[in-house]
Structure 1
């Protein structure tokens, strides 16, 4: 029997929290799912612990490639028409899937939805800032400065995910921001306004703590957006505005650290983005991708 939803958990060296995340899925109040765990080359005993869980889950082990590659691998293995993601440090309420699947059935035109969530940082509950508050509907513009869709709270239609090519695997961070924006160009976000996810933060291995200057990945995402023919002139103007803003902030940081050539690249992007022709835009994207890995590139 084909499951209604495939639940995908990528993990890397987070064994104890992973097992808690898995338990939160297995405690669900619906049976219409398959659970896929992608072990992204863990070296902390994760593989051994997962083996003990038996046939309750599907397990794939891959060479370490980052969360984008791991999630893409999970979707490639998924059989259901809906995809739900859960980060290995987060938890679901037992009714999360049941309630959200009911929401998706009641809203068949909805391509992506999320639930509300509880934030825990260093073991204590905290309130998200106003800019992080979730809304339903057309949230594209608001999502340019702040990622407003949470990975562990999301359900997306599998055919849409695949049609957009999934997550950009060169992005070691902000890969979710990148995909959500590509979706939000012409899809509204659904919201089940119930706190059915516990988002646990503050631990040392979080990408936000281990990946410096995450805005450099957001800059790549915004630059890529300018190649998308679905972008209206009005939205393109706002994308350019936010891109220039982020480029100038990042360039300032690079200059303070003596990385003058890279600072000039981002200042040039900020100055020229409004009037880029197609060839110049392609060159800028190549330059940013090269800069992310500190590979020299000239157009």
Structure 2
């Protein structure tokens, strides 16, 4: 397994206070055949100085104007050389045996995509994950329609997987991982290392899940995309339409409670078009009234 070269993709934006912990966890890996591409997505703090202090040729710093996390990940993967790609967010960290155990699990069970269990911290305190977020293993496209069940910092996949399902959608300011993993779960079974080898931190105001409004619209867009891909069989199509209807219903109910009847009507009409097999113009989901 030491022959597998791993490209670690670590996008960052103004995370100078946290990125050192992520980099320390990469450097501490017992598996040593890796490169770590840090994509500075237009940071205005001292992120560059923090990274420069790591005197290790395996760390490669890339700079770009701000494009968002999807653009940063795409940039990193395009510049990477690894047989296998591992994602790590700049405010998360790994246990030292993460790469070694995950690679061995993928090899043993023949998985092209694999994730690990994770430990959650919210506001500095360790919390238990709600049961609804329990990670499944194998084929679970139907379950993935309901919510994102793959965590980026836990995930590793082969380059052939990326070539088939990538890139991340740069037009999605939120739920870009939900969109990506829907495509993945349609084509691949996903392995699960049942050991918490990733530590995920949350509860801060700068995180996308908090600071990007209308995440429901991005989930709706992801479902519209998968339906319009024409890659679903009849049963998958039925399940995806049902999931889309549920998400549209939740969104429109929220609009009506806030007096946004026009917006509720607009999104419901979009759903009806998709349900009936009609093409929705690109970007139409985001055009709030």
TM-score by length of structure 1 reads: 0.91
Distance 2:72 2:104 in 1: 27
Q: Which residue of 2 aligns with 1:5?
A: 6
How many angstroms does 1:225 deviate by? Answer: 0.6
Distance 2:138 2:233 in 1: 17
RMSD (Å), alpha carbons? 1.8
Q: Which residue of 2 aligns with 1:242?
A: 243
Q: Which residue of 2 aligns with 1:267?
A: 268
Distance 1:140 1:251 in 2: 25
From 37, 61, 86, the counterpart of 1:59? 61
Q: Is the Cα contact below 8 Å between 2:6 and 2:33 reproduced in 1?
A: yes
How many angstroms does 1:281 deviate by? Answer: 1.9
Classify the secondary structure of the residue corresponding to 1:8. strand
Q: Which residue of 2 aligns with 1:106?
A: 108
Q: How does 1:194-213 map to 2 (within 5 A)?
A: 194-213=195-214
> What is the CA deviation profile of residues 150-203 of structure 1, one whole-angstrom value per residue up to 9, with x for unaligned ones?
110000111221232310000111101101000111211111111000111111
Q: Which residue of 2 aligns with 1:135?
A: 136
The answer to whether 1:48 aligns with 2:45 is no
Q: Is the Cα contact below 8 Å between 2:94 and 2:198 reproduced in 1?
A: yes
How many angstroms does 1:3 deviate by? Answer: 5.8
Distance 2:266 2:113 in 1: 35
How many angstroms does 1:213 deviate by? Answer: 2.0
Classify the secondary structure of the residue corresponding to 1:190. strand
How many angstroms does 1:36 deviate by? Answer: 0.7
Q: Which residue of 1 aligns with 2:227?
A: 226
Q: Is the Cα contact below 8 Å between 1:248 and 1:266 reproduced in 2?
A: no
Q: Which residue of 2 aligns with 1:78?
A: 80
Distance 2:217 2:88 in 1: 25
Deviation >6 Å, runs of 4+: none
Q: Is the Cα contact below 8 Å between 1:115 and 1:154 reproduced in 2?
A: yes
Gaps of 5+ in 2: none
Q: Which residue of 2 aligns with 1:69?
A: 71
Q: Is the Cα contact below 8 Å between 1:237 and 1:274 reproduced in 2?
A: no
Q: Which residue of 1 aligns with 2:279?
A: 281
Q: Is the Cα contact below 8 Å between 2:273 and 2:280 reproduced in 1?
A: no
TM-score by length of structure 2 reads: 0.94
Distance 1:247 1:104 in 2: 37
How many angstroms does 1:52 deviate by? Answer: 2.4
Distance 1:100 1:2, change over 3 A: closer
Q: Is the Cα contact below 8 Å between 1:131 and 1:146 reproduced in 2?
A: no
Distance 1:257 1:67 in 2: 30
Distance 2:137 2:75 in 1: 29
Classify the secondary structure of the residue corresponding to 1:38. strand
Distance 1:35 1:50 in 2: 11
How many angstroms does 1:88 deviate by? Answer: 0.9
How many angstroms does 1:238 deviate by? Answer: 1.0
Distance 2:105 2:3 in 1: 19
Distance 2:203 2:177 in 1: 19
Q: Is the Cα contact below 8 Å between 2:270 and 2:280 reproduced in 1?
A: no
How many angstroms does 1:56 deviate by? Answer: 4.1
Q: Is the Cα contact below 8 Å between 1:186 and 1:230 reproduced in 2?
A: no
Q: How does 1:119-130 map to 2 (within 5 A)?
A: 119-130=120-131
Gaps of 5+ in 1: none
The answer to whether 1:27 aligns with 2:8 is no
